[in-house]
């Protein structure tokens, strides 16, 4: 392996201003704040304006500008943009190309990736490999989703769960081997594609999910992926300072923490305020933990996500 490591210099995020509380869903559906809180842990979520929706590219740009300012990197120094999203404005041009133009990242390569809620870890892994191989020095890794436009607002089993938002990390080459991304693990199981999906064509273009089935696979697959990434980094789960899982359901996160014997004070959760933002959830949680001082120089952070496909990914990063 090369001596180059890819370090996370900074993270930036953006969430729309509009807040949908559980009380809103009580007013349109047969549901209750009590059910949503106890079954999911979600109190509220942010959504774009339905009449004038912000795009995944626009949210991604806002998050990217915040991340670039924090890292003190200019648009000119960005070599590439990788966007994880299942809610692009177009099949093409990609969300990443739109961002490349809007941010003014001259000559940067740009492409989108589809791995649903594991998208951020997939994009981070690809970016890491491009940096370690010397193909790029600085990459924006983006998770940006406008999930509200994919929801069936009469389906209480799905529409209460999701929110919109974006998160971006600046990943840069560094020669310090003890810092940066230490390991990545990716896997998929396409045989379970039908239990969580969003068709691209046809009349029923809504996100659908068999929630309880997804739940049990999510716990098993994310726990397993966490152990694998730690092992590839030469660490045990006990060495990890902070676990940042995809934010889908507080009971899933607690079950993973239980299976891994990780105390909840080492786990970052913010889904109470944002719901499930798919590929944006891990950078949103990272940003919150970093701002709160929970991420420090040398912190060993484990990211893990699972999404429709099924896709699963995990990575260990030393900050
Ligand atoms: O991000 C990608 C991965 N996604 C996930 O990881 C999500 C995984 N799944 C989940 O988070 C949970 O399965 C849900 C929160 C979606 C559902 O919780 P659950 O405990 O698995 O409930 P369930 O689907 O087994 O449904 C239990 C009952 C059903 O009623 P019956 O059939 O028992 O009478 C549902 O119709 O709860 C009902 N229900 C609701 N009741 C009130 C489902 N949604 C609601 C609701 N309000 N919003």
Residue 74's contacts (CB-CB under 8 Å, 6 or more residues apart) are: 68
Q: What is the pLDDT of residues 282-306, one digit of tens each?
A: 999 999 999 999 999 999 999 999 9
The verdict on pTM exceeding 0.85 is: yes
Pick the atom of ligand 1 nearest to 156's CA.
48
Structure tokens at 11: 């993270």
Mean pLDDT of the chain: 97
**Confidence bin at 1 (pLDDT 50/70/90):** low
Q: What is the pLDDT of residue 205?
A: 87
Q: What is the pLDDT of residue 36?
A: 98
Q: What is the pLDDT of residue 2?
A: 83
Task: Decide if pLDDT at 204 tops 80.
Answer: no
CA of 209 to the centre of ligand 1 (A): 9
Catalytic residue among 61, 128, 246, 249: 246
**Token pair 């990217």 is at which residue?**
64
Task: Decide if pLDDT at 203 tops 90.
Answer: no
Minimum CA distance residue for ligand 1 atom 9: 211
CB atoms closer than 10 angstroms to residue 101: 14
Half-sphere exposure of 129 (CA within 13 A, CB side): 10
Q: What is the pLDDT of residues 68-92, one digit of tens each?
A: 999 999 999 999 999 999 999 999 9
Asked if 155 and 209 count as a contact pair (C-beta separation under 8 A), the reply is no
Average pLDDT over residues 166-194: 97
Average pLDDT over residues 154-179: 97
Structure tokens at 291: 């701002």
Residues lining ligand 1, judged by CB closer than 6 Å?
31, 35-36, 39-40, 117, 156-157, 160, 211-212, 214-215, 218, 248-249, 252, 276, 306-307
Q: Is the dihedral of CA 244, 155, 24, 85 positive or negative?
A: positive
């Amino acid at each position: 392996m090369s001596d180059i490591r890819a370090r996370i210099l900074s993270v930036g995020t953006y969430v729309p201003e509009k807040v949908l509380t559980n009380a809103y869903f009580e007013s349109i559906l047969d549901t209750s704040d009590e059910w949503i809180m106890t079954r999911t842990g979600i109190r509220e979520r942010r959504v774009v304006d339905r009449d004038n929706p912000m795009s995944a590219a626009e949210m991604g740009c806002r998050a990217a500008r915040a991340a670039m300012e924090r890292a003190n990197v200019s648009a000119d120094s960005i070599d590439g943009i990788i966007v994880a999203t299942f809610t692009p404005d177009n099949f093409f041009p990609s969300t990443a190309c739109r961002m490349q133009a809007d941010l003014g990242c001259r000559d940067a390569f740009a492409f989108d990736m589809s791995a649903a809620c594991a998208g951020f870890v997939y994009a981070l892994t690809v970016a890491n490999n491009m940096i370690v191989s010397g193909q790029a020095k600085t990459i924006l890794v983006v998770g940006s989703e406008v999930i509200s436009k994919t929801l069936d607002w009469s389906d209480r089993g799905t529409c209460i769960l999701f929110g919109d938002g974006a998160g971006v990390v600046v990943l840069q080459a560094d020669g310090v081997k003890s810092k940066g991304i230490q390991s990545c693990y990716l896997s998929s199981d396409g045989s379970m594609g039908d239990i969580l999906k969003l068709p691209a064509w046809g009349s029923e273009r809504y996100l659908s999910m068999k929630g309880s089935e997804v739940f049990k696979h999510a716990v098993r697959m994310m726990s397993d992926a966490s152990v694998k990434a730690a092992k590839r980094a030469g660490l045990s789960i006990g060495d990890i300072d902070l676990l940042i899982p995809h934010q889908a359901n507080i009971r899933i996160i607690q079950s993973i923490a239980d299976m891994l014997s990780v105390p909840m004070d080492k786990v970052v959760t913010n889904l109470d305020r944002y719901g499930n933002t798919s590929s944006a959830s891990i950078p949103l949680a990272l940003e919150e933990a970093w701002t709160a001082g929970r991420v420090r120089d040398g912190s060993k952070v484990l990211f893990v996500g699972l999404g429709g496909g099924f896709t699963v990914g995990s990575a260990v990063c030393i900050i």
